[in-house]
Amino acid sequence: MADPMRIRAASKEGVVNVKVLMSHEMETGQRKDAAGKLVPAHFIQSVTAIWQGKTVLSAQWGPSVSKNPYLEFSFKGGQKGEKIQVSWIDNKGDKRTDEATIN
């Protein structure tokens, strides 16, 4: 399983700003190793953020996203002390879910 995501969520005037740093190799499938063989594609395909049981972000990614991707987004309505949950699924079926408390 991948390393935990670093998630920061801060509420200001009813708008929550969320910053997420994900740990993932994000291989495109086009790079060659030292022996000249293609390194198989391995990348995050789907990212979802859930707050209070509601999806506040849903994204579909592909192999062009960089290694250890950074994601920042905002949504209205979150309050301090509530939780936000961020999940991803990659093209090999690996999954990761982490949560943070809104400050």
pLDDT for residue 5: 97
Give the pair of three-digit tokens for residue 87. Answer: 């999940």
Residue 1: band (very low, low, confident or very high) from pLDDT cuts 50, 70, 90: low
pLDDT in tens, 47-100: 999 999 999 999 999 999 999 999 999 999 999 999 999 999 999 999 999 999
pLDDT at 81: 96
Residue 20 pLDDT exceeds 90: yes
| Topology at the third CATH level for domain 6-101 | Immunoglobulin-like (2.60.40)
pTM of the model: 0.90
User: What pLDDT digit, counting tens, does each position of 2-16 carry?
Assistant: 789 999 999 999 999
pLDDT of 72 reads: 98
Question: Please, which residues have CB within 8 angstroms of residue 30's CB and are 6 or more apart in sequence?
Answer: 38, 63
Strands in 15-21's sheet, in edge-to-edge order, are: 6-12, 15-21, 70-76
What are the domain boundaries of the chain?
6-101
- The sign of the dihedral angle between the CA atoms of 64, 62, 21, 58 is positive
CA angle 90, 38, 2 (to 5 degrees): 30
